[in-house]
Amino acid sequence: MLLLGVISFNLIFIGISFLIAAYAIKKGMKTSISSSRVVEHLQKKDTLFSEELLMGNIQTKLDIVHYANKIENLGTIIQIPEQDKIKLIEDYKNVICCKITKCALIDFNTSNGIDYIDIQIDADLYQVIKEEKIASNKEQLKIKIMRKTDIKTNNMLEIIMHQCEKCGANIDPLTGICNYCKTSLKLENYDWVISQYEKIK
Ligand SMILES: [Zn+2]
């Protein structure tokens, strides 16, 4: 009973955080022609897929990337070389807010059993500078996200039911890391993960 309570609390928590993020983005979001084509394509195999839910998911992941102060905080949500992770953490030091203002799904493809989406993102960043002043900057990103090809939006919720193969503890659904022994789950078997991250501006 207690376990069920924890699981449903987690489900509600993830659901709410994605929805809040999705709502906030939708208010200021412009949808491009390429986005509708990609969405149409994905909805054929994943009926729950929606651009809003995906954007909420990406905002949650970008929050983790921008607020991380050590590599471990990134969990398995971003799979890029170690030195690139270190650089991101250094670049985003003192970032206190990251807000997606525009998002375009540029392209979709499948290769070796993995689905990829290319996304271009505009975001506003707020960063603490010296003397406790806050500066705002615009950032433009080109990212690629991936997940196993037979995965659907509702599979994301399975992470919550999943227990660590090593110690049996719960997995943090946002980062894919075991809450107890810190073993990492292959998050792309359940949800989108970032496989390329490039700052354009
Ligand atoms: Zn564990």
Give the pLDDT score at 156: 78
Give the pLDDT score at 15: 64
- Distance from residue 77's CA to the centre of ligand 1 (Å): 17
- Distance from residue 199's CA to the centre of ligand 1 (Å): 34
Give the pLDDT score at 17: 67
With beta carbons less than 8 A apart as the criterion, state whether 35 and 49 touch.
Answer: no
Residue 77 CB contacts under 8 Å (≥ 6 apart), including other chains: 61, 64, 65, 174, 175, 176, 187, 193, 194
Give the pLDDT score at 155: 83
Give the pLDDT score at 20: 63
- Distance from residue 97's CA to the centre of ligand 1 (Å): 31
Specify the pTM: 0.83
- Distance from residue 196's CA to the centre of ligand 1 (Å): 27
Neighbours of 62 (CB within 10 A): 25
- Mean pLDDT, contiguous 10-residue spans, the chain (201 residues): 56 64 57 76 90 92 95 93 96 93 92 95 92 90 96 84 90 89 90 96 86
Give the pLDDT score at 10: 61
